[in-house]
Amino acid sequence: MTPERVLAALALLVPIVAMLWVPSYNKNDPALAGIPFFYWYQLLWVPASAVFTVAAYLLINRDEKARKAARNGGAR
């Protein structure tokens, strides 16, 4: 288990925990443009989740390239 894989797992876990912890956002205030906090907080996590997913993908991709390079370098 490499640090990149641990960070990727954490990056994927953050949005899940944020959405499952309902008491943290189960309120009306502060409203944003008349939209209660409950709704805009969830909508804010749509692009935030995409950012976390891309970060996890990049970390895994980086780890895979390092493993492949180590495998090819060790075979010589």
DSSP per residue over 22-60, as a string?
GGGT-S-PSPBTTB-HHHHHHHHHHHHHHHHHHHHHHHH
> What band does 1 get if pLDDT is binned at 50, 70 and 90?
confident
- Of the candidates 4, 5, 8, 10, which has an alpha carbon nearest to the alpha carbon of residue 55? 8
Cα dist from 54 to 17, 20, 47, 58, 71, whole Å: 17, 21, 11, 6, 26
For 16-74, how does the pLDDT look when each residue is reduced to its tens digit (9 = 90+)? 999 999 999 999 999 999 999 999 999 999 999 999 999 999 999 999 999 999 888 86
pTM for the whole structure: 0.84
CB 49 within 8 A of CB 15: yes
